[in-house]
Structure 1
Amino acid sequence: MTADVVRIGFGAGSPEGANSAYLLPERGVLIDPGPPGEAAFETLLSAIDDTGLALEDLEHVLVTHWHVDHAGSAPRIADAADATLWMGSDDAPLVREYATARDRRLDRDAAALRDWGVPDETVEAVVDGDTPSPMPDRTPVSDLHDGDVIAGLEVIDTSGHTRGHVAFHDRIADQGDHESDTYGGETRERDDDRSALFVGDAVLATYTPNVGGGDTRLEDPLSTYRRTLDRLDDRYDPETTTAYPGHGTPLDLDDRIGTIRDHHGERRGNVRDALTERSPDPATPWEIAEDLFGELYGIHAKMGAGEAASHLTDLVATGDARLVDEEPLRYVIDESAE
């Protein structure tokens, strides 16, 4: 009998951990097929074959969010298997219309970077360094919404890292004799009453997901992401739920959510301190990012400035800071809150 959850790992890893795709052979489901390219595609085919599942038995390809390290191989494997590709409705257009959506995204990213006070030469370097991925210009993608159920997996809105990020929850109870899972070649015994939660990049085992730079469509990414953490924390009991992240190994949901909350609490204090030190002069998100992280290049410029911007927006919402200019965005500490 094949195992219920089979992890497929890609690459040597990164600070986030090696990419993780998940195959549910008994459901004909593949989650987050990983990056594009021949190596990743051959890894997928080999893993599918190892389970005894025929490629044409793969019916559903589910993707948690549009980032290419998760969605890159989705169009190709879905086409090869004649499977339906599913994504959250807010992220689906970025794969469905990849070529035109990418152009719009680059324009949107450049505008956000300029709003954050990033110098023009750095903006140009970020945009120029964002090379196209080997994905089709157009791909059939079906939309998912919160509460939908596909092959026994419930769709959970987990926006924040991206606007359309979703997770998938599967009750493994009542699955007969499926009492183990295969994870990176290791078989682990599992209680029948446990459930599986595939969280993508909403919660990671060794890294705090970026909030702000990962998707510049979000107006208040930090508050959005906090609501996702609250929802996961309230809804899923770590004693009965195994969380499978988009990078690395299964994680303790409760511990990781607590660690991520602590991180953002500490980062909030750091942003507030940096803004206070610049007082009475206003500061842009870029200036605060440089104060926090030092020199920033390439993708790190977008991620760093975006995270600073998300925390500054949050400080304004709580009355600890004020927005005093919009071109670019400039903030000052609110002395009345002292």
Structure 2
Amino acid sequence: MAADSVSRIDVGGDGPEGGNSAYLVADRVVVDPGPPTDRAWRELQAGLERAGVAPVALEYVLVTHWHADHAGLAPRLAEVADATLAMGAGDAPLVADYARERERRLERDAAVMRRCGVPTAAVDSVIEGDSISPIPDETPVERLADGDRIAGLEVVATPGHTLGHTAFAGDDFLLVGDAVLSTITPNVGGSDTRTLRNDGRESEAASATDTTESGVERDPLGAFRATLERLADRPERLLPGHGAAIERGRIAEILDHHRERSQRVLAALEGDEPTTAAKTPWAVARELFGDLEGIHVKFGAGEAAAHLQALEGEGLVERVADDPVRYDVVR
């Protein structure tokens, strides 16, 4: 399936990463239809009309990951088109069983933030600010695994940003979702708290979806680095979930960015005397990013935790406490 079989539809979005990119492939597949808003729905319909494709002609709706700005319109489009909705197995439950999994996610998010040392008031603010998306409580979703083929596309597991993040490859293009973005570095750790090692401190309900069924170790930064290295070895043109095509050098830039961030995390621990150096991920996040509010509390704490877990795996830092978790450099 060649590049002339894929076209981008801008479905809105005003964030720093640019507009959401839905992709029409071979006039029968839409990948990442966009956020669950009326504006995005109108823009998606207009894009399909420009391409001369009626929604009822679609056979598949594919989604790279569970975040609402990518998956939000998927159930609606699949229902209108009577199409198969499919996505990576690791992320599928959060769309297939949205209502129940949202409650579990909020409980898990709160537990992870508390363990990272985030103050109670900030945790409560994040949870209370998490609005319900207009997504059906339950939706049929086909679960995909690495190496599967669907609608002429190869399924490529790309975990890190989320547990079950998945790319879709044609002959000379690769739809990479949020695995590679041109203007920002995708968040790891906070954007999907299932990826972090939580050591059984969530409730049973919260732990129910904390699974490694996709084969991902709970080391989001390690998984993300492996994803980037895998993508760097592939020849296809990279088409992201936000904005237009990406130059391949962007992968090296993101890897360099995370190497530099890990050094900053180490510096945050090494800056104090040995008796006082141990810090929570939240304390490290505040040093890295300054004041954090809203969803950035979870993103910042999660990213700091991801780097600390990776550094622990490299033998450079060690956990010295667990409630909340604290790290110190290995001396």
TM-score by length of 1: 0.88
Match of 1:204 in 2: 181
One-letter code aligned to 1:10: V
Q: Is the 8 A contact 2:10 2:44 kept in 1?
A: no
Larger radius of gyration: 1
Secondary structure of residue in 1 paired with 2:23: strand
Match of 1:113 in 2: 113
Match of 2:5 in 1: 4
Q: CA deviation at 1:42?
A: 1.3
One-letter code aligned to 1:325: A
Match of 2:223 in 1: 224
Q: Does 1:250 align with 2:245?
A: yes
Cα distance between partner residues in 1 of 2:7 and 2:170 = 14
Residues 45-124 of structure 1: matches in 2 within 5 Å? Answer: 45-124=45-124
Q: CA deviation at 1:10?
A: 2.4
Secondary structure of residue in 2 paired with 1:87: strand
One-letter code aligned to 2:240: P
Match of 1:178 in 2: none
Sequence identity, in percent? 53
Q: CA deviation at 1:57?
A: 1.1
Q: Does 1:297 align with 2:293?
A: yes
Unmatched segments (≥5 aa) in structure 2: 196-217
Q: CA deviation at 1:246?
A: 0.3
Unmatched segments (≥5 aa) in structure 1: 172-194
Secondary structure of residue in 2 paired with 1:322: strand
Cα distance between partner residues in 2 of 1:52 and 1:274 = 55
For the aligned residue pairs, the C-alpha RMSD in angstroms reads 1.2
One-letter code aligned to 2:325: L
Match of 1:16 in 2: 17
- Deviation >3 Å, runs of 4+: none
Q: CA deviation at 1:13?
A: 2.9
Match of 2:213 in 1: none
Q: Is the 8 A contact 2:20 2:243 kept in 1?
A: yes
One-letter code aligned to 1:59: E
One-letter code aligned to 1:209: P
Q: Deviations over 1:159-215 (max 9, x none)?
A: 1000000000001xxxxxxxxxxxxxxxxxxxxxxx010000001111100011010
Q: Does 1:214 align with 2:191?
A: yes
One-letter code aligned to 2:264: N
Q: Is the 8 A contact 2:11 2:44 kept in 1?
A: no
Cα distance between partner residues in 1 of 2:173 and 2:288 = 37
Match of 2:302 in 1: 306
Q: CA deviation at 1:278?
A: 3.1
Q: Is the 8 A contact 1:163 1:217 kept in 2?
A: yes
Match of 1:183 in 2: none
Q: Does 1:265 align with 2:242?
A: no
Q: Is the 8 A contact 2:160 2:227 kept in 1?
A: yes
Q: CA deviation at 1:12?
A: 5.0
